[in-house]
Chain A
Amino acid sequence: MNISEKTINNYAIVSLQGILNASSAPKLKTYIAGMPDEQSLVIDLENVEFLDSSGLGALVGIARKKKTGSAVMKLARMNERVKKVFEITQAYTLFDIYDDVSAAAEA
């Protein structure tokens, strides 16, 4: 999995590319842990080819941390395969999900 980052309106836009599963989730966690807790995030999922519950667990963990650190975490551009996992687990209720990155960073 590749992680790239840019900044829009004080939001760190973290774009993920590839597979987000048990073997790659620690990489994402470590990457996010390297940021200040109060840094607000938009995680761009457009190029995530595959996500399983370990990947979901990592995202939920980040969301919880950001929530306690009173920062914001949003998800953007979820594809159908990724959406399915959020739907079955009802994890979509925990996130603000946008279909556009800049809209997520502006709102």
Chain B
Amino acid sequence: MIFHLDTSTTQPLGVVLLKKRVDASNSNELQKAFAQWLLQASNFVFDCTELDFIDSSGLGAIVSCLRKALEHHGDVKLAALSPKVAMVFELTKAKQLFSVFSSSSEAIQSFRTVSPK
């Protein structure tokens, strides 16, 4: 996981690059880190370009990130899901909860165009 703050938007935007796998072994790590990131931003883009595998606990962690972001009046948007990862999101109906973009720049752009509430 690599986190950086994108300040080109009106509100600070957290961009998270997820790597390889998000599964039972590292989903806790993601949730803990996310609590820290929430202090700096409430809008997030999870860039899944390098994510090859996700299981139900990884999915649970990402959904819990979304819930926390929503509590902070923010959002988590997903970008560049590989076909395999997308299939897991579809299978579990988690896809319906997220806005999904084909690239991280599109996802970042979408936060720019939305006027801050």
| Complex A–B touching at CB under 8 A | no
Residue numbers of B with Cβ under 8 A of A are: none
